[in-house]
Amino acid sequence: MKFRTTGILLLIALTIGAFIWFFERHAGDTETRKLESRLVLDVDPGRIDWFQIETTNYLVSCERDGKTWTMIEPVHTRANAGEIQKILSYLEDWQRRETIRAEDIKKSGLDRGDYGVHIPKLKMTLRSDGEEQEFRVGRNTPLGEDLYVQVAGKSDIFAASTNLWSVIPEETTLLRSRRVFDGVPSDIRRFHLKRKDGLLEAKRSETQGWVLEQPMHGRANMAFVNDLLFSFFSAGVEAFVFDEASELSPYGLDTPRAQISLWTDEDQEPQVLLLGDVKEDAAELVYAMREGGKTVIAVQESLLTSASMDAAVLRDRRLTDMDERAVSYLQIIAGEESLSLQKDDAGSWSLVKPVQRKAEDSLVWDLVTMWAQVGIKDFVADDAVNLAEYGLSPPVFELNFFATPPSLETVMSTNTQEVVDAVADGADGNTVTSIRIALGSVDAEKERLMVQVGHTPSVVAVDLRMLRRLSVTPSFYFDREVLALAAEDIREIKLQSSGLTQMVARADTEEFRIAEDSGRNGALLVSGQVQTLLDTLQSLEAESFVPQHPEGLSAYGLDQPEGELTLGLTGEAGISKSLIMGAPLDEHGVYAMIRGQDVIFVLSTTLRDTLMDPLYAANFDSGGQADAPTTPMHVEP
């Protein structure tokens, strides 16, 4: 019994659900049909490809090809697609307020002429998919709120809103395009500007952006080119002066003051605009005409000003478009000398030739960033015949920036030009991008330096201060940190200074004690000196480096050092390292080096004193006996 009741309830629920679905579905269809039945026309704006409007004042027809509308009558010219879309969109939703049946017209003793549709105020024909539909607009209804409308092929007359007149233009010029150029600035791939100062040509490159080709060759300023193109496309027709002009001399268009040619594709014909004389009755306007057309228009004189701008304004004043973050290898050449620096994955720089040593990161990064961001101070020569005149053949310095490091075999080549050529050509198996910057003579009076980028004949000048941080001396780039040791890796310390030898070592408890074999029974550790020494050795930085020392170590007092600090090490730090102190450079610094390394550097006298201070001192009473045992010192690792 329960199963039967449940089945009946389920059947009832399904029946109700089906009824609701059917009702709502058909209710929606009914509403749509009701709406469609109230429309004056069956119009799909996207399918209309031709229309004609005839009023008591004019006749105009327009045709569409793809997305482009063209006015056919009364003149063949570009049409205003926005205005056309507004008309078609209105007609799509134009609703009838009342339908006057044919039989009612007959019964009332009237005819269609009484509604004004025989001699209409407006007749419009629309074509889509090869089929046409026409409607006529007669007089207003007695109260003036609506229009009488008759659609061709239908015997009824409709009353529809007078708002139609808000979208129907009062004159044909409103349906003409007022755009001077079609498209958008981003579509342009090339442009030419002909004017009294000569031809200006620019082309968009996929890799370099905009490039000037005439009257000079070089990168163009992207922002300035975009502003120029925007001024072209934002210009509008201020007035339609004369259609079907056969004589151009009255407008100065037979010998135009400027000509703008824009290409969207190299294989297509450009859009060309001729600019002539100032309009007689409006000093802020100039006559213009599209090449191949016959309509003289007037545009703002600012368009002529833009087309006549100095080509130098468009030049990119960046020396290169190099991204400093992408540079991973740098070669500096000066005559027969050269050095190379390479960046690792962590962004740290090292010298790789002629010596291999950690470089001062901040110094190299400053150098790379300076040259990546340097601006051109002056354009000296666009087509230099004699580069030697500017100190560029051969250059004083040559900088080669690479995005991909060359192979080790290439790096170690003794021929610097082979390195440049191999890396630039990708001959060593790497896909690379390189930028060559050659530095020439100095113009001290104008504080500028002659520069050539790549192997082009162009010579530019940059600020003389760009010579800073530039050298082919390897030690110039050395990392100033000459010693870096973890405190826990230092197990023994031996200090030799002024005939004094002191030794301390870690005990099993990790505390530093005076070494048992030091022979200094009764001595006391100087409070805090070992800890100060350990702290200092964790990062020992030089003041400067000695570039070359062919005369040997004696000239620096390092053959017989005045002091030596030997560190017994453990773990990856090695077995031991010895820091030796030589003669003073001046009152502020002393020469020093790590024994076994061929690098002499300068330490400050203050740092030297810290490193050479005694570690412990004897403490005797008046009888000459030690009054206290050796005091251990605990040092935190």
CA 218 to chain centre: 18
Q: What digits encode the pLDDT tens for the residues 121-177?
A: 999 999 999 999 999 999 999 888 899 999 998 989 999 999 999 999 999 999 999
**What confidence score (pLDDT) does residue 299 get?**
97
Token readout for 172 is 């044909």
CA separation for the pair 418, 584 (Å, rounded): 43
Q: CA of 557: how far to CAs of 552, 554, 580, 581, 594, in Å?
A: 10, 5, 10, 8, 14
Percentage above 70 pLDDT, the chain: 86
**What confidence score (pLDDT) does residue 467 get?**
93
The mean pLDDT value for 369-389 works out to 94
Q: Are strands 239-242 and 589-594 parallel, antiparallel or unpaired?
A: unpaired
What residues contact residue 8 under an 8 Å CB cut-off, 6+ apart?
Answer: none
**pLDDT class for 109, splitting at 50, 70, 90?**
confident
What does residue 572 show for φ and ψ, rounded to 5 degrees?
-70, -15
DSSP class of residue 269 equals P
Beta-bridged to residue 616, according to DSSP, are 525
**Is residue 207 over pLDDT 90?**
no
**What confidence score (pLDDT) does residue 123 get?**
96
Collapse the DSSP code of 110 into the 3-class scheme (helix H, G, I; strand E, B; otherwise coil) and give the result: coil
**Is residue 459 over pLDDT 70?**
yes
**Is residue 619 over pLDDT 90?**
no
**What confidence score (pLDDT) does residue 620 get?**
38
Among 118, 129, 141, 123, CA closest to 56: 123
What is the number of other CB atoms lying within 10 angstroms of the CB of residue 477?
Answer: 26
Collapse the DSSP code of 499 into the 3-class scheme (helix H, G, I; strand E, B; otherwise coil) and give the result: coil
Winning range, highest mean pLDDT, from 134-138, 487-491, 623-627: 134-138
Answer whether 255's CB lies under 8 Å from 190's CB. no
**pLDDT class for 350, splitting at 50, 70, 90?**
very high
Token readout for 228 is 């120029």
* Among 20-29, 145-154, 306-315, 405-414, the least confident range: 20-29
Q: What is the mean pLDDT of the chain?
A: 86
Among 507, 522, 504, 479, CA closest to 566: 504
**What confidence score (pLDDT) does residue 389 get?**
95
**Is residue 594 over pLDDT 60?**
yes
**What confidence score (pLDDT) does residue 33 get?**
45
* Among 4-18, 115-129, 159-173, 477-491, the least confident range: 4-18
**What confidence score (pLDDT) does residue 548 get?**
76
Q: What digits encode the pLDDT tens for the residues 174-205?
A: 999 999 999 999 999 999 999 998 999 999 98
Domain edges within the chain: 45-175, 185-314, 324-477, 481-634
**pLDDT class for 519, splitting at 50, 70, 90?**
low
**pLDDT class for 27, splitting at 50, 70, 90?**
very low
CA separation for the pair 605, 594 (Å, rounded): 17
Among 245, 212, 420, CA closest to 313: 212
Q: What digits encode the pLDDT tens for the residues 540-583?
A: 999 999 987 767 889 999 999 999 999 999 877 678 999 999 99
**What confidence score (pLDDT) does residue 405 get?**
83
Q: What digits encode the pLDDT tens for the residues 53-96?
A: 999 999 999 999 988 999 999 999 999 999 999 999 999 999 99
What is the number of other CB atoms lying within 10 angstroms of the CB of residue 567?
Answer: 22
* Among 207-211, 234-238, 334-338, 439-443, the least confident range: 207-211
The mean pLDDT value for 243-257 works out to 92
The mean pLDDT value for 370-384 works out to 93
**Residues 481-634, CATH architecture:** Sandwich (2.60)
CA separation for the pair 32, 35 (Å, rounded): 5
The mean pLDDT value for 323-346 works out to 94
The mean pLDDT value for 451-462 works out to 93
**What confidence score (pLDDT) does residue 632 get?**
40
DSSP class of residue 632 equals P
**What confidence score (pLDDT) does residue 476 get?**
92
**Is residue 10 over pLDDT 80?**
no
* Among 529-533, 573-577, 607-611, the least confident range: 573-577
**pLDDT class for 20, splitting at 50, 70, 90?**
low
Collapse the DSSP code of 440 into the 3-class scheme (helix H, G, I; strand E, B; otherwise coil) and give the result: strand
CA separation for the pair 360, 369 (Å, rounded): 14
What does residue 634 show for φ and ψ, rounded to 5 degrees?
-90, 130
* Among 55-59, 257-261, 291-295, 372-376, the least confident range: 291-295
**What confidence score (pLDDT) does residue 34 get?**
47
pTM of the complete model beyond 0.85: no
Bond preceding residue 550 cis, omega within 30 of 0? no
Taking CA 471 as the corner, what is the angle to CA 465 and CA 477, rounded to the nearest 5 degrees?
110
CA separation for the pair 165, 74 (Å, rounded): 21
**What confidence score (pLDDT) does residue 32 get?**
43
What residues contact residue 210 under an 8 Å CB cut-off, 6+ apart?
Answer: 202, 203, 204, 219, 220, 221, 222, 225
Among 393, 227, 385, CA closest to 305: 227
Answer whether 259's CB lies under 8 Å from 274's CB. yes
